[in-house]
Amino acid sequence: MKKVTGLGGVFFKCDDPKAMNEWYAKNLGLATSEYGTTFEWREADDPSKKGSTTWSAFPRDTRYFDPSAKPFMINYRVADLVALVAELKKENVTIVDEIVEYEYGKFVHVLDPEGNIIELWEPKDDTDQDKAEG
């Protein structure tokens, strides 16, 4: 079973997300919004399939990364979230929450051995994904 298919997003805490977005827009040319930015791309094996990777700054006091105390979270794209969660449970991986589904895909959060929160995302389809956060 293929588990991770790519990087869905990078999320990090900062003191002032608005200022951070403005800095990255001005100095590095990112087309930011209040949610950060989304990089769109096509799959190498099948260029008809689109995908996206999100970059987003969160307020330092966000609870979204809980229970991790780390100031970042990585989102990985996966092919079959339900089957992957079943495998992770067999391996005694800490599953933080239940799978939730939105118009742009399914999400769940797990912890790695050092307590880093990981967001797993199964995109609804690989065309025109707006956000990779659940």
* Per-domain residue ranges of the chain: 4-123
For 4-123, CATH gives 3.10.180.10
Q: What is the pLDDT of residue 65?
A: 96
**What is the reported pLDDT for 127?**
43
- Block mean pLDDT (10 aa), the chain, length 134: 89 97 95 94 88 95 95 96 96 96 96 96 66 45
- State the pLDDT at residue 43: 86
d(CA 110, CA 3): 14
In the prediction, which pLDDT does 132 show?
45
Position 15 scores a pLDDT of: 97
pLDDT for 88: 96
Q: What is the reported pLDDT for 131?
A: 44
Cis check for the bond before 59: say yes or no (omega within 30 of 0).
no
pTM (predicted TM-score): 0.86
Per-residue confidence (pLDDT) for residue 49, from 0 to 100: 86
Q: Within 10 A of 43 (CB to CB), how many other CB atoms are there? A: 13
Q: Which of helix, strand or coil describes residue 12?
A: strand
